Homo-oligomer: A and B are copies of this chain.
Amino acid sequence: MAGSAAPKHDVFQAIADPTRRSLLKLLGEEELPVTAISSHYPMTRTAVSKHLRILAEAGLVSERRVGRETRYRLEPEPLQELKKWLAYYERFWNNKLAALKRFVEDDEPEAPADRTIVDTSMGKTDL
């Protein structure tokens, strides 16, 4: 099941919207159908539904059909990608070494390398 998710929207994009972050929080509490969910928001039911779809495509919520309603609930796993991404940067505030490094670099007249191709992950980070 590890690779069953083929995220059309990535997590970063999914959580960029405040409404969607709010939805995640709401759906972490309990599973809810669309109409109940949308009653919490100042927008139409359809708009909420579209946000839910984007979250679903990112794998952050699951849909379950129950009778005539569709119930949504939080699916936290994809957030691990975020966590992993963040972990890379923790060294910058956990280590004061980073600050030291910058200090040293500031003393240098010229930094040599702009050849370093740090960027390897411009596209998708499909896990």
Q: Which residue of B lies closest to A87 (CB)?
A: B108
A106 closest partner in B (C-beta): B31
**What CA separation (Å) do A36 and B94 show in the bound complex?**
27
Most chain B CB within 10 A, of A30, A82, A87, is at A30
Please indicate the chain B residues that have their CB under 8 angstroms from the CB of A122 in the complex: 18-19, 22
Q: Does A50 reach chain B (CB closer than 8 Å)?
A: no
Copies in the complex: 2
A28 / chain B contacts, CB cutoff of 8 Å: 89, 92, 98
A107 touches B82 (CB 8 A): no
Complex partner residue of A76 from B15, B93, B118, CB under 8 angstroms: B93
Instruction: Give A1-33 interface residues, CB cut-off 8 Å to B.
Output: 1-2, 12-13, 15-16, 18-19, 21-22, 24-26, 28-32
Count contacts on A: residues with CB < 8 A to the other chain: 60
Q: Is the CB of B30 within 8 A of A105?
A: yes
- Verify A118–B19 contact, CB threshold 8 A: no
Candidates B26, B84, B101, B127; contact of A77 at CB < 8 Å: B101
